[in-house]
Amino acid sequence: MIDTRFYELIEGGLSVSDLCARLDLAAPEGSLAETRIFEPAPLVTSQAGSLAFLESRKHSPTLETAKASACFVTDALADAVAERNIVPLICKAPKYQLARATDILVKAAKRPAEIAQDSHIHPSTIIGPGVVIGSNVSIGPNSVITNAIIGDDTHIGACTVIGGTGFGVVTGPDGAIMSVPHVGRVLIGRNVRIGSNTCIDRGQLGDTVIGDDCQIDNLVQIAHNCVLERGCALAGRVGISGSCHIGEGVLMGGSAGLADHITVGPGARLAAFAGVMHDVPAGETWSGIPAMPIRDHMRIVAKAKRDIRK
Amino acid sequence: MIDTRFYELIEGGLSVSDLCARLDLAAPEGSLAETRIFEPAPLVTSQAGSLAFLESRKHSPTLETAKASACFVTDALADAVAERNIVPLICKAPKYQLARATDILVKAAKRPAEIAQDSHIHPSTIIGPGVVIGSNVSIGPNSVITNAIIGDDTHIGACTVIGGTGFGVVTGPDGAIMSVPHVGRVLIGRNVRIGSNTCIDRGQLGDTVIGDDCQIDNLVQIAHNCVLERGCALAGRVGISGSCHIGEGVLMGGSAGLADHITVGPGARLAAFAGVMHDVPAGETWSGIPAMPIRDHMRIVAKAKRDIRK
Amino acid sequence: MIDTRFYELIEGGLSVSDLCARLDLAAPEGSLAETRIFEPAPLVTSQAGSLAFLESRKHSPTLETAKASACFVTDALADAVAERNIVPLICKAPKYQLARATDILVKAAKRPAEIAQDSHIHPSTIIGPGVVIGSNVSIGPNSVITNAIIGDDTHIGACTVIGGTGFGVVTGPDGAIMSVPHVGRVLIGRNVRIGSNTCIDRGQLGDTVIGDDCQIDNLVQIAHNCVLERGCALAGRVGISGSCHIGEGVLMGGSAGLADHITVGPGARLAAFAGVMHDVPAGETWSGIPAMPIRDHMRIVAKAKRDIRK
């Protein structure tokens, strides 16, 4: 759901025929063309009024929970969409068309921020429209907070950027690229500590979430749609790519990095400089690039050192 | 010693009985309860009036130079503390209790900064209370300088944060975690050059020190209580964890990183991407993750390449 | 050529005799001492009025296109310079003397910036003198833009620093070091997207160039005199050292880094955490530290894992 604290939707929505006309796509025939859509959504959590996309057979299972009113889809997958009573909008580059439609459907809103009176925003920090800041929060100087909701007792350093647009491009049918619009939020829990010169991007569709009691050091990058459960600790220069899920109490050493869509189980530990390409099971300690269980990594290093002494 | 340019202590100090009452700990018996303490300190450099902690037998040797008036200590080590005529304050989590006591004993002061007239602070840079800035210094726009003393002829870039609180948590007896309070300083020497978007955290108890003639590039992280001797050069994206000691003239390549409490000897060189887990002897060149002498690392890489061609 | 939008040169230039006097160097004899120089330049692109340097025989071939009026040079290479009708200024540390001469010849200018009316500079962002910003550009809050020319439709995040001085030192004959003055620019093309907390340094002599359609994420470091051709995509925490040349459409994964003077061919891909020490051919995918073709790297990792299971 698009949060109307931060974004404005078109009053009354848009018919798919109007939308297709604006995107220069063929509209569906008959009364289907009058279907009204209101907001973009991921297919898996889509509701009545949602507009989604389906591009790859691999993601067809997300149709099971989908309730979208319309869906950009490739020709090959159109029947599967129609069977779910979702209007298929057939095109060559569904993800690209949803990005274009998002730019049409969603505009930034300009509502006042809400900042608890006992919280302290230091000089030259910019708080964007609609931001909500809880009680006993401090935000250091020269930071930038947009599209975010911040819980009580949370402390954020200086020159830190929360809620910026995520990084990502989509390619159109003619090879044109466009930046993916980001119309989600950053949700930060209670008693979180975030350092300086750190970046936490907002979600694309949906949210980037930092759980209660997380501790995040300086110069850390957390990309769009990541979820950190409660009590994680991230040392300096850590980088987490988009859509990762980090379980409760995970510890990450300095400069450790994750590829996108990685799951790290609760209580796992990632050593400094770990470069994680695969999911990490709960409670395990991984290190190395590419990361692996630390015992394997240490054995590989020890053997390599022995071998050059032979 | 807490620097009263930046922090205020309680006038007349606090008796250990009052302190223990506020922390909900049992006070020592008899006249010992009237012992007055004034400021937190590391045990090893503690003076009359200091309050310190001792948690592990490994650190017992620091008692030899300790002159603290009182010390949080586990039951098992209490006698060793008492033998040094230091009042033992017995508890389960001494480091945690010192963190709590620091929050009681030390408050931020609000004294004016002192900036030499020929120095140039660019727009929107924030200079915190008590900061001292020498002659012919320039500090780029949108930077933040707190709890720091900066020598002559030093140049600092934009969006750089100096003197922020360090990263660290302590765990209480009930598993509660709290951020470690940082009541130290950053001392920056003469003729230092620091880039943009760099972070140098202040010391916890004591100082983070950047020696004369150091050159520090962009996006560098230097954690609390690190000491860089004269003439070090750190390339972009370097990260140094807490309490490292870097000898004179050390060179660090881009993205190199150090674990905490590492010593790097004078004149050593760390290659780009070196991940240093062990002390580096003077004059040596190390590389790799984990870092080792570069000759060993290069031999390992060469052998691995040969082996896959067999 | 020094861009007089950003820098002022001495009206009428300076005679080499005056220059040598100010640098405490022996001037050339006779009428050569009256040769006038106007601006520093790299030897290879030097023009009439330029002052350059030549320190190593390896760079002697750059004399072939050189048209400088004078050149700092070591005794051993002075004849080669004179043969090209360039006045040799003999000294022990030519590069160091050019750095000192640059400080004498070039001063920052204070011309107004030019910002297209439909572009949006967010609050507390600093735009330096002479900067040119095209149409439909947005620059997020708390950023700093100096010595830069920015094309249409380009979007830059928050707390990003563009046009800062590069990192580099030169050593004088007595072991004294000085920071290399940077009197170049940053040229950013059209439809570029740059994230937050990113640094792009200006050129030393000459330009740092970001081509059209490049996508650059957060916390990225791009050093002086790098050239990115059109359509490159750099993920978070990438670092590119000085004077690299990145071909069209290159993709770099998170935290990848390049040594200086590296060439990456068009269409190449660098995996996350790649540490590139050698030129990368067009179209290849490299990974590892030091980076190598990804197939070799994956085979090395697979073999190492097999070997510890034996």
Question: What are the tens digits of pLDDT across the range A126-144?
Answer: 999 999 999 999 999 999 9
Whether A177 shows a pLDDT value over 90: the answer reads: no
Q: Which tokens hold the place of A65? A: 């929970």
pLDDT value of position C201: 98
Q: Residue B269's pLDDT band (boundaries 50, 70, 90)?
A: very high
- Asked if B289 has any chain C CB less than 8 Å from its own CB, the reply is yes
- Asked if C34 has any chain B CB less than 8 Å from its own CB, the reply is no
Contact C219 B197 (CB under 8 A): yes
Write the residue in C197, C213, C231 that is nearest to A197 by C-beta: C197
Neighbour-count burial of B132, counting CB atoms closer than 10 A to its CB (0-12 exposed, 13-18 middle, 19+ buried): middle
Interface test with A, best of C139, C273, C305, C306 (most A CBs within 10 A): C273
Query: How big is chain C, counted in residues?
Result: 310
- Asked if B123 has any chain C CB less than 8 Å from its own CB, the reply is yes
Which domains, and CATH codes, for chain A? 7-108 (3.40.1390.10), 114-297 (2.160.10.10)
**C200 three-state secondary structure:** strand
- Asked if B219 has any chain C CB less than 8 Å from its own CB, the reply is yes
Whether B100 shows a pLDDT value over 90: the answer reads: yes
Write the residue in A144, A239, A299 that is nearest to C236 by C-beta: A239
Whether A152 shows a pLDDT value over 90: the answer reads: yes
The two beta strands, B169-171 and B207-210, are: unpaired
Lowest mean pLDDT among A161-170, A181-190, B168-177: B168-177
Interface test with B, best of C122, C125, C126 (most B CBs within 10 A): C126
Chain C (159-218) residues lying within 8 Å, Cβ to Cβ, of chain A: 159, 193, 195-197, 213, 215, 217-218
Alpha helices in chain B (DSSP H): 16-23, 78-83, 94-105, 294-307
Contact C164 B157 (CB under 8 A): yes
Which of C270, C190, C160, C193 lies closest to A167, judged by CA? C193
Helix (H) or strand (E) holding C297: helix C294-307
Whether B38 shows a pLDDT value over 90: the answer reads: yes
Cα–Cα dist C136/A262, whole Å: 36
Catalytic option among B122, B224, B245, B278? B224
pLDDT value of position C174: 84
Interface test with B, best of A190, A197, A221, A292 (most B CBs within 10 A): A197
Q: Residue A1's pLDDT band (boundaries 50, 70, 90)?
A: confident
Chain B (243-282) residues lying within 8 Å, Cβ to Cβ, of chain C: 254-255, 272-273
Give the contacts of B254 (CB within 8 A, at least 6 positions apart).
B217, B235, B236, B237, B238, B272, B273, C221, C239, C241, C257, C259
Contact B161 A218 (CB under 8 A): yes
Residue B14 pairs in a beta bridge with B37
Contact C142 A126 (CB under 8 A): yes
- Asked if B296 has any chain A CB less than 8 Å from its own CB, the reply is yes
C196 vs A contacts (CB less than 8 Å): 144, 161, 164, 199
Write the residue in A155, A195, A273 that is nearest to B275 by C-beta: A273
- Residues of C serving a catalytic function are 224
Q: Which residues of chain C have pLDDT under 50?
A: none
| CA C120 to centroid of chain Cα atoms | 27
Q: Residue A21's pLDDT band (boundaries 50, 70, 90)?
A: very high
- Asked if A296 has any chain C CB less than 8 Å from its own CB, the reply is yes
Q: Which tokens hold the place of C171? A: 């050593």
Contact C236 A223 (CB under 8 A): yes
A193 vs B contacts (CB less than 8 Å): 179
Average pLDDT over residues A14-20: 97
Higher-confidence residue of A169 and B225: namely B225
Q: CA angle B4-B6-B7, nearest 5°?
A: 60
Whether the CB-CB separation of B118 and B137 falls below 8 Å is answered with no
A155 vs B contacts (CB less than 8 Å): 179
- CA B48, B52, B57, B59 dihedral sign is negative
A95 CA: distance to closest CA in chain C (Å): 18
pLDDT tens by residue, B56-89: 999 999 999 999 999 999 999 999 999 999 999 9
Contact C164 B196 (CB under 8 A): yes
Whether A209 shows a pLDDT value over 90: the answer reads: yes
pLDDT value of position B310: 79
Write the residue in B140, B254, B307 that is nearest to C303 by C-beta: B307
pLDDT value of position A178: 85
Write the residue in B157, B215, B273 that is nearest to C161 by C-beta: B157
Interface test with C, best of A110, A126, A273 (most C CBs within 10 A): A126
Sequence letter at residue B86: I
- Asked if B237 has any chain C CB less than 8 Å from its own CB, the reply is yes
A213 vs B contacts (CB less than 8 Å): 177
Which chain B residue has its CA at the smallest distance from C291's CA?
A: B301
pLDDT value of position A169: 86
Beta-carbon count within 10 A of B178 CB: 16
Write the residue in B159, B236, B308 that is nearest to C159 by C-beta: B159
B271 CA: distance to closest CA in chain C (Å): 10
Burial A159-171 (b: 16+ CB within 10 A, else e): bbbbbbbbbbbbe
pLDDT value of position A310: 79
DSSP A23-83: HT-PPPSGGGGG-EE-EE--GGG--TTEEEEE--GGGGGGGGG---SEEEE-GGGHHHHHH
Cα–Cα dist A267/A247, whole Å: 7
B278 vs A contacts (CB less than 8 Å): none
The two beta strands, B269-270 and B275-276, are: unpaired
Whether the CB-CB separation of A199 and A220 falls below 8 Å is answered with yes
Contact B237 C241 (CB under 8 A): no
Cα–Cα dist C136/C151, whole Å: 9
Whether A23 shows a pLDDT value over 90: the answer reads: yes
pLDDT value of position A281: 98
Lowest mean pLDDT among A55-59, B148-152, C181-185: A55-59
Average pLDDT over residues A235-255: 97
Which chain A residue has its CA at the smallest distance from C197's CA?
A: A197
Higher-confidence residue of A39 and B176: namely A39
